[in-house]
Amino acid sequence: MDFEYSTEEKAFQREVRAFIEEQRSPGVMDPTREGMAQLVDTPERRRFMKAMADRGWLGMSWPAEYGGGAAPGIYEYLLNEELAAAGAPLIGKGVGIVGKTIIRHGNERLKSEFLPKILNAEIEFAIGYSEPNAGSDLASLVMRATLAPEGKGWILNGQKRFTTSAHFADWYWVAARTDPDAPKHKGITLFLVPMNAPGITIQAMDCIGDNERTNEVFLDNVFVGDDYVVGEVDKGWYYISEALDFERFTLFTISTYVKKYEVIRDWIREATRDGSPLKDDPHVRRTIAWLATQIEIAKMHTLRVISKAGAGGVPNLESAMFKLFTTQLGQKITDEFLTIAGAQGALRRDTPGAPLNGRMENYYRYSVIDTVGAGTSEVQRNIIARRGLGLPVEN
């Protein structure tokens, strides 16, 4: 099997690297950052996204009739991998979840209003699925959408939890129950709501990873016009499931894990304990060799996802395996580092004597979200059991 990228793909990779060098700025890129993806929450990061838009790199894989580049998905993947390696914002929710769903299912109004803004990096979205009692079992969501008086539009009431980006996003992509009597997967509808609509209250939820924030969002009699219903009423579950397959594929990149491994490998080459080089320690040698092997396996999982998508399939099983393996590998990488580093490994960023300036201690706390967001590890295992192994649906 030939794992090499084509000449055109390699040329694109070089172009992206040159662009990143040209745009390099600490306010936009942080290669030591351990988060899933840099948020586009400052004017400088918005300008960076606009520069990518000007290159035609947002919506590269969208059909040409919607202003996209009609390029194979591998180009979007290569772009995101380079961005992630540099600690830059990725092309994310707007292009991957909102845009692709509107293209497939949205009405003409949504297409003409949102698609050009996404392509031009003029708009940021927050995704409102999870609620206090609806996470893994998302179809249990209870946010209610009732018909507005005179049957024009909808009124939304309820609470969302863990809405990342709500505090700076322009629009809210939100799921609510339109038919409480239907089986739980069948009465859900997707809406687009301006984030500053009357009746929306946003409260910060701080995370255990430093400087990471998500939000609780309360909707109190929020009006949504009929034009802003996404697709058909009561069909939201279908669109959410389809978009989650896109999300697992586009939001998790391998290069961040490779970088973490490389940083630890390089540190081991130089570090000493009690005057002896760590690289001579048999446990350290075995551990780093094992991690090197795991990294190669993770890369193979990525290639399985890309090759399935490239052949026109939806890589849901492959994405589940990829996400499970790589996010858990991320945790193993930081776990092994903290074991090797000993007591000093627990020192936080910018503390004198902290190995790698506390980067891995920070990541140890942060890495929890990787195995939770876009479906927990247990949920990925359930997908693999059902779709890959043909085992019965869990109770």
Ligand X SMILES: Cc1cc2nc3c(=O)[nH]c(=O)nc-3n(C[C@H](O)[C@H](O)[C@H](O)COP(=O)(O)OP(=O)(O)OC[C@H]3O[C@@H](n4cnc5c(N)ncnc54)[C@H](O)[C@@H]3O)c2cc1C
Residues forming the site for ligand X (CB under 6 A) = 127-130, 135-136, 162-164, 207, 214, 369, 372-373, 376, 378-379, 382, 394
- Nearest distance from C-beta of residue 138 to ligand X, angstroms: 7
12 Cβ neighbours under 8 A, 6+ residues apart: 75, 78, 79
Q: Kindly tell me which of 16 and 127 has the beta carbon lying closer to ligand X.
A: 127
Shortest gap between Cβ of 169 and ligand X (angstroms)? Answer: 10
- To ligand X, the closest distance from the beta carbon of 251 in angstroms equals 10
Closer residue to ligand X, CB minimum distance, 164 or 294: 164
How far apart CA 176 and CA 85 sit, in angstroms, is 36
Query: Would you say 30 or 378 has its CB closer to ligand X?
Result: 378
Kindly compute the dihedral angle of the four CA atoms of residues 376, 39, 75, 292, in this order, to the nearest 10 degrees.
-60
* Helices 316-341, 282-310: crossing angle, 10 deg rounding: 160
> Which is closer to ligand X, CB of 287 or CB of 326?
326
Q: How many other β-carbons are positioned within 10 Å of the β-carbon of residue 185?
A: 15
- Point out the residue whose Cβ comes nearest to ligand X: 135
C-alpha dist (Å) from residue 331 to 6, 79, 86: 32, 25, 20
Give the residue with the Cβ less far from ligand X, 148 or 372.
Answer: 372
Q: Using the minimum distance from each CB to ligand X, give the nearer residue, 353 or 390.
A: 390
Question: What stretch of H or E contains 189?
Answer: strand 188-194
Q: How far is the CB of 160 from ligand X (least distance, A)?
A: 7
Distance in Å, CB of 394 to ligand X, minimum: 5
CB of 318 to ligand X, least distance (A): 20
Angle in degrees, 0-180, between the axes of helices 236-251 and 316-341, rounded to the nearest 10: 50
Bridge partners of residue 217, in order along the sequence: 160, 202
Q: Which amino acid is at 42?
A: T
The burial class, CB within 10 Å (0-12 / 13-18 / 19+), for 159 is middle
Distance set, CA 1 to CA 234, 292, 300, 303, 318 (Å): 45, 21, 12, 11, 18
Least distance (Å) from ligand X to the CB of residue 395? 8
